Chain A
């Protein structure tokens, strides 16, 4: 066992997979000599050389397109789009090309492509660096979308993503990069599409993703003092969602809250709420609640972030409403 940060867990996952399989390579803005805008490729170019760990121009469409073409011809590219807000510049390659190539061509091509990207919600950087766009990619059939909340999950899911024969959008969160956790030294593969019950509880199910997982766990601790036992489910994979684990939990607790950094409108929380109500309506004692930032862009500055985003107190209050 060794204590690792979320950021180092990502570096380790890529290093291990690049050692294991020479078809794996990494390209993106500042991933080579600068070792990643957030340090998430530290040491990789030194080990694997400038051909396998390459700096690209600031050209998001070609970054993803290079990955698509290389994946169709036998490689396992990891391409980095620095912030998820930049997906608008390469959505054709992601949604029309990567996501549909295996399907359109009747399975003749595999698409073992990982698109690593980062959300910086709540970091005060302003409207073009503060979005949680998992629902945008989650809406596209043929893509897998992963959003780990802990170092261990980040490592195990990234290794699985690299070995997957489908395009995986791997969403990191920069505010989680310094989070630490003990990770086993042995090979760690966490299956894509499996939710994780981060805390067992009998009274309320809180489905929380990304940045919200730690907050849901903190809220659960507070609520336990009042005798309310919260079960925290981290879907980990946004698409395909593990509805079974979520619904099983709700059948036990009869109450559900979904907490996201993304908006309610057409979002992940709404998707989970709708599915839970379709599958387990008669098990619910209350309508499913959603907690999300209001439907506005995020202005520059921490005071706005703190005001707009669900915090631990808001989760505690929402759970109290559900059990009232």
Chain B
């Protein structure tokens, strides 16, 4: 865990800036596909990943940039991947829903909601067999919690005491359907008890609360005490993807959640509780904004991959 409170803020701001600048680039039609914005959920990824090291693994989902940045993926190749450029971390063939870096334990995103949970369990099984205390984290949303893979993963993880932290970012919307319409009870963490593992509801917009809860879960997993389900209550500021007209919710609801902005909240903690002065924070913000702008320029100036490379790497040697 980092002891530098500004480092946590820097990571949150990196995500915030990435999302803002990428949304802007997407709106200008600078890259194809979709963009699934992580705006509003910054405290989740940063709070969880703060307790992980490079030998711990994460499995992300379609809304994955927050996780990539929080786990320490290099910015330029990550951003270039979003643009589908040859300099991207996957050579541009993964795109917006798929980035990975085995060197820092990022085992990829996913285009299939719920597809990553079983993979994270597999990484946890490897870690358990290795016996070196590494842990595996699965990031997924409330939508994925209604997929069969969720139940299968919780059950096996509990039965085998896998070193797995199941992080459900409950942002209240499964694509365009409000969670309340598809579940019988709104606290996903309560399901943990039925499978025999601890579950905890956490304020997902409070980075310090997330960090603390994740720290406990990671500690249990490292000690061989098995998995934990963390439900981080948060809110997706944007639509399912950018351009989604968000007819399924009110602008008032969105404004109320923006009042609880996780970045602004932690900024206030730095100013009021930690005595860090405004000028230092503003400097850091400017530096982060410039860093992201540079990564976007790098991506824009990078070439697209040559189409013929689609024929390569279907199989490994």
Contact = CB atoms under 8 A, between A and B. Distances in A.
Given A62-B149, A109-B100, A166 B118 contact: no
A59 B90 CA distance: 31
Contacts of B117: 65
Which of B111, B129, B148, B153 has the most A CB atoms < 10 Å from its CB? B129
A192 to B, nearest CB: 10
Contacts of A75: 126, 129
Given A142-B314, A165-B317, A62 B57 contact: no
Interface string A36-73: 00000000000000010010110101101111111111
B149 A61 contact: yes
A66 B316 contact: no
Interface string B75-102: 0000000000000011101100010111
Given A57-B152, A103-B93, A142-B314, 15 more contacts: A62-B152, A66-B156, A68-B118, A69-B59, A69-B120, A70-B123, A72-B102, A73-B123, A92-B149, A104-B94, A104-B98, A108-B90, A108-B102, A109-B100, A141-B314
Interface string A100-120: 011111111111000000000
Given A57-B155, A62-B149, A93-B115, A69 B126 contact: yes
Contacts of A286: none
B: contact size bracket: 35 or more
A96 interface: yes
A74 interface: yes
B144 to A, nearest CB: 12
Interface string A15-42: 0000000000100000000000000000
B93 to A, nearest CB: 6
Which of A56, A67, A70, A144 has the most B CB atoms < 10 Å from its CB? A70
Contacts of B156: 56-57, 59, 62, 66
A109 B94 CA distance: 13
B121 A65 contact: yes
B122 interface: yes
A141 B315 CA distance: 9
Nearest to B92: A106
Nearest to B57: A73
Contacts of B313: 102-103, 106-107
Interface string B104-128: 0001101110010111111111110
Interface of A: 25, 51, 54, 56-57, 59, 61-62, 64-75, 77, 92-93, 96-97, 101-111, 141-142, 144, 165-166
B269 interface: no
A265 to B, nearest CB: 26
B94 A106 contact: yes
Contacts of A71: 122
A110 B93 CA distance: 16
B159 interface: yes
Which of A51, A61, A65, A107 has the most B CB atoms < 10 Å from its CB? A65
A51 B123 CA distance: 15
Interface string B157-188: 00110000000000000000000000000000
A111 B108 CA distance: 14
Contacts of B115: 92-93, 96-97
A72 B120 CA distance: 10
B107 A69 contact: yes
Contacts of B317: 165
Contacts of A144: 315
Given A69-B107, A69-B121, A105 B159 contact: no
B304 to A, nearest CB: 14
A69 B59 CA distance: 9
Contact of A66 (B57, B122, B127): B122
Contacts of A69: 59, 107, 118-126, 136
A282 to B, nearest CB: 29
18 contacts: A59-B152, A62-B153, A64-B118, A65-B119, A69-B107, A69-B120, A69-B126, A77-B122, A93-B119, A96-B111, A97-B112, A104-B93, A104-B98, A105-B90, A105-B100, A105-B108, A106-B93, A108-B100
A86 to B, nearest CB: 13
B85 to A, nearest CB: 12
A1 to B, nearest CB: 33
Nearest to A69: B122
B111 A66 contact: no
A96 B149 CA distance: 14
A111 to B, nearest CB: 7
Contacts of B314: 102-103, 141-142
Nearest to A89: B148
